[in-house]
Amino acid sequence: MTTATAGVQPRMKSPAVVIPEATKAIQALVASSMQGDAPATTLGLIHLRASEINGCSFCVDSGSKHAKQAGETDERLFAVAAWRETPYFTDAERAALALTEAVTRLSDREDPVPDHIWDEAARHYDERALAAIILWIATTNVFNRLNVTVRQPAGSADW
């Protein structure tokens, strides 16, 4: 047993692999999210934070690797879970991370996405970038739910 699969065996292949039409739909959603003028580095941080919240080890692992390949620093990657207490993020990135947490944790509060969180994100991003951010948060949550449900182990992605 390798380190990547130690203790965790997938229950089945990803539903998006079993039903290839789902992969096409998810890929279209990913492509659409990338067209919305949100910085790629911000989208990487969003993916990592939502994946941390949802406990998706596969997505944390693969998202960290993608971000690292795109030039993200270790300091920022290691600090995403504590983004409020670290100096590594811009105000715009902080607004995107706050929005990510709110949208990912919809049932945690009476007003799932409070005006102060929305207004701060809207202060930093135009409507097209906000659309991309919201789509990317939702897409990441889809990835997380698929991978957590089937117990896709971290490190099992082909690199």
In tens, the pLDDT along 15-31 reads 988 999 999 999 999 99
Contact between 128 and 37 (Cβ < 8 Å): yes
Chain segment 63-105, per-residue pLDDT in tens: 999 999 999 999 999 999 999 999 999 999 999 999 999 999 9
Q: Which two tokens stand for residue 68?
A: 């690292």
Task: Note the pLDDT of residue 159.
Answer: 37
Percent of the chain with pLDDT over 70: 94
Contact between 155 and 12 (Cβ < 8 Å): no
Q: What does the DSSP assignment read for 66-100?
A: HHHHTT--HHHHHHGGGGGG-SSS-HHHHHHHHHH
- Mean of pLDDT values over 132-150: 96
Sign of CA pseudo-dihedral 72, 55, 91, 119: positive
Angle between helices 40-54 and 91-104 in degrees, nearest 10: 40
The phi-psi region of residue 15 (left if phi > 0; otherwise alpha if psi is between -120 and 50; otherwise beta) is alpha
The domain covering 28-149 belongs, at the CATH homologous superfamily level, to AhpD-like (1.20.1290.10)
Alpha-carbon distance of 88 to 74, in angstroms, equals 11
Distances (CA, A) of 97 to 2, 7, 15, 52, 120: 33, 31, 28, 12, 11
- Mean of pLDDT values over 112-133: 97
**Within a 13 Å sphere around the CA of 148, how many CA atoms are in the beta-carbon half?**
15
Neighbour-count burial of 152, counting CB atoms closer than 10 A to its CB (0-12 exposed, 13-18 middle, 19+ buried):
buried
